[in-house]
Every structure is written in structure tokens, then in C-alpha cells.
Amino acid sequence: MERKEFELLYPQDILAHRIKELGLEISHDYEGLNPIMVGILKGCLIFMADLIRTVSIPVEVDFIYASSYNGGVTRDETVLVGRPKKSLTGRHIILVEGVVDSGHTAVETAKAVKEMEPASVEIVTLLDKPKSRKMAVNIKYRGFVTDDYFVIGFGLDKDQKYRNLPFIGRVIEP
């Protein structure tokens, strides 16, 4: 980005603090349940890595790959490409998302996971954009509720770029 195309929304220390709170809550709620945290790639990347390190109970980790036909800012259709490698049957599943926007990805993924007959399925997302919601999503844990800005960084991309930014920025529309 040559010009200033984004502004800081959540700096690293704020993210770390909130993620630690989420990890504590999950550790408390899932004590003795040996949950599987299933990350929805790729947006979960950084959040999941940080979140699992704040969880103090035994957890297992797996991934599901959700992708859209549309590479840009909006997403019309969700395609689940990868399936978790482990059996989720009878297990307590925590789906880990970077951001819930329209709700398509979370709903489709939860549906696919429920077909595997887990004991329970909940969703944790770092960011929740309820104003963009097109379908109801039952989110159990959310890091931050944001306006319907397009955000980048901390695993979240714009055209596959900026996932590596260590903070979350809001894209400024020209």
C-alpha cells in the first residue's frame, strides 16, 4: 500500500488481552470435555495460533478449509474444500473463525460439522460484524463486535494480502 489505505483498529496488545480472556472462558467452560478446536482456514490462522496458547485444558486441533469463488471484499458462496482429518463424532467441537460477516461461512461449516454427529458445536470468532449478517449465526464467543468495515491483518486478507500484519486495520475506501 503506497498511500494510507487502512487505519489501525485493534493494536496487538488489545488483541492479546482479549484473546487471553476468550482462552480463559473456553478453558473454564470445556474443563474435562477434551474439545477439538477446528479452525476455519485461512482467516483463523493467527487468531487460532494465539487462542490455543491461552487455553489451559487439553485440546485437540484440526482444520476445515472454507473458500469463496469471489476473491475480493464480498463473498457470495462458500465452498468447503477440506474436511477435518479426525473423526468429530461424539466430540465437543469449537469452530474458530477470524471474522463472521454475512454468516455464510459459519453456518455452512457448522452444518457440515453437525453431519459428523459431534456431541456439541460452538463458534468462537475474533471479530463479529453483526450489521453485515444475512443469516442467523449462533456465536458463543466473540472477541470484538465491529461495524461493517472491511478489516485486514492478523490472518484476515484483502485479495490474499495483509494476513501477516500483526494488528487489525480498517480499510479506508478511496
Per CB under 6 A, residues contacting ligand IMP are 43, 75, 78, 97-106, 150-152, 156-157
Whether 95 and 123 have beta carbons less than 8 Å apart is answered as yes
Of residues 150, 149, 148, 153, the one with CA closest to residue 163:
153
The CA distance from 170 to 84, in Å, is 31
Tell me: does residue 157 bind Mg ion (CB under 5 A): yes
The CA distance from 9 to 46, in Å, is 16
Q: Considering the complex, state which of residue 5 and residue 29 has its C-beta at the smaller distance from ligand IMP.
A: 5
Among Mg ion, ligand IMP, none, what does residue 104 contact (CB within 5–8 Å per kind)? ligand IMP
Minimum distance from residue 58 beta carbon to ligand IMP (Å): 27
Among ligand IMP, Mg ion, none, what does residue 50 contact (CB within 5–8 Å per kind)? none
Q: Considering the complex, state which of residue 50 and residue 97 has its C-beta at the smaller distance from ligand IMP.
A: 97
Minimum distance from residue 96 beta carbon to ligand IMP (Å): 11
The CA distance from 55 to 170, in Å, is 28
Among Mg ion, ligand IMP, none, what does residue 64 contact (CB within 5–8 Å per kind)? none
Catalytic residue numbers? 101
Residue 133 cell numbers, joined: 449478517
**String marking each residue 111-150 x if it binds Mg ion according to CB under 5 A:** ----------------------------------------
Minimum distance from residue 1 beta carbon to ligand IMP (Å): 15
Of residues 145, 140, 76, 86, the one with CA closest to residue 108:
76
Q: Considering the complex, state which of residue 75 and residue 140 has its C-beta at the smaller distance from Mg ion.
A: 75
Length of the chain: 174
Whether 17 and 125 have beta carbons less than 8 Å apart is answered as no
Minimum distance from residue 86 beta carbon to Mg ion (Å): 25
Q: DSSP 3-state helix, strand, coil percentages of the chain (rounded to 5)? A: 25, 35, 45
**Interface residue list for Mg ion (CB under 5 A):** 157
